[in-house]
A and B are shown apart, each in its own frame.
Chain A
Amino acid sequence: MNRLVVAGLALLCVVWFVLYWNLAAASLWLTYDFLGLAHGQHLATAVEFFVFEVPKVLLLLVLVVFGVGIVRSFFTPERTRRMLAGREEFVGNILAALLGVVTPFCSCSAVPLFIGFVTTGVPLGVTFSFLISAPMVNEIALVLLFGLFGWKVAAIYLCTGLGIALVAGWVIGRLRMERHVEEWVYATQTGPASEDAPMAWPERIQYGRAAVRDIVGKVWFYVMLGVAVGAGIHGYVPEGLMASVLGKGAWWSVPAAVVLGVPMYSNAAGIIPVVQALLGKGAALGTVLAFMMAVIGLSLPEAVILRKVLKWPLLCTFFGIVAAGIMVVGYLFNYIL
């Protein structure tokens, strides 16, 4: 890396930190001095929350998406495939779940990816571990959860997401359902693996910047929406409104949340306002996490895409096991917390 690039990056880091550490003070000043709102007012609480949280989450997003972009530039799917080919089951599942987080994944490439993995020596169960963790455990969800609900919730989401990917993939592998993959998949000749030339650092940085432009550009509106909803709840809604329906007491709330969430599709940022609203009105954390995972991790569009390569028994097993795993996570956290 040449010195100019390093200096530029260092400067950006400093600017980022200065902005971040001054957010609390800045939001207080803006709400109470500049706008002149009175302390303790509903509106003041909501505005202070909004002014603090929006730049905070956006700054976190920029940092994390950039960082993850750089990490991803090291992990091409081809490299992931080579790391997973021929691995024995349990180890392979763990590796696949972890790699799902860092390998760049676009849902349109689910099919070529699946075929590519399965026809070149990656066991079926291991491929599934990857296919589960890639869309579900994504950095946007983690950053937003961290920014809005704290590191514990984000950590729970990360660990349980990986856990589900690991276990579900392993179970599917054990069930030996290879014969339920469409025959033509195994007949596909994957040409000699194309290897892109390894990127030099300036290209990696460009990749990170493109990721920030892409992702934050798509997502910033939902972030503002989500924080606005959160601010409204924070300032105005009394605690425990929906506790009876979605709180821990209602045993059927977890399965209901999962059944509702599976067919739905939203990107991680879009579902956060809903998560905030539910939590703010007294829904239990486990139920809400289960809902979020069900929405992001499984969806009707994804089922349609995967139907091209998976026969019905396998497709249903896949969705069923992941849904069951999500429900277990939901119950677990309603029970512990």
Chain B
Amino acid sequence: MKKLQILGTGCAKCAKLAEATEHAAEALGEPFQIEKVTEIQKIMAFGVVVTPALVVDGVVKVSGRVPSPDELRQMLG
């Protein structure tokens, strides 16, 4: 099962990324698990400096922006 983590402290972009990721994951049809990480310490441990960020199975796929649905599909696939 894919583990998806959304890193962000709670601003509008983080919410958008969470929503977009959920849509993309559902469209793919595979089982997945989404977790929102809001603690600074944990976010920094990923090496992420700009939120929001998306982590798929432990690997940071994008940070600082909300990718397009196509990009998301690639990152999750």
Contacts and interface: CB of A to CB of B under 8 A. Distances in A.
A8 to B, nearest CB: 17
Nearest to B53: A194
B47 A192 contact: yes
Nearest to A193: B47
Given A109-B64, A206-B68, A190 B11 contact: no
Contacts of B49: 77-78, 81, 109, 112-113, 116-117, 190, 193
B65 A188 contact: no
Q: Main SS of the interface on chain A?
A: helix
Interface in A98-153: 104, 106-109, 111-113, 115-117
Interface string B48-60: 1111010000001
B44 A115 contact: yes
B65 A104 contact: yes
A117 B44 CA distance: 11
Contacts of B48: 112, 191, 194
A111 B8 CA distance: 11
Interface residues of B, number: 26
B62 interface: yes
A112 B50 contact: yes
Given A109-B64, A115-B40, A190 B13 contact: no
A33 interface: no
A106 B51 CA distance: 8
Interface string B4-17: 00001111011000
A203 B71 CA distance: 9
B65 A207 contact: yes
Contact of B64 (A76, A115, A210): A76
A41 interface: no
Contacts of B44: 112, 115-116, 188-191
A-B pairs, top 10 by smallest CB distance, nearest first, are A108-B11, A191-B47, A116-B49, A194-B60, A194-B47, A109-B50, A77-B50, A109-B51, A191-B45, A77-B49
Given A77-B64, A191-B46, 9 more contacts: A104-B50, A106-B11, A106-B51, A107-B11, A109-B9, A109-B51, A112-B43, A116-B44, A192-B47
Interface of A: 76-78, 81, 104, 106-109, 111-113, 115-117, 184, 188-194, 196, 203, 206-207, 210, 308
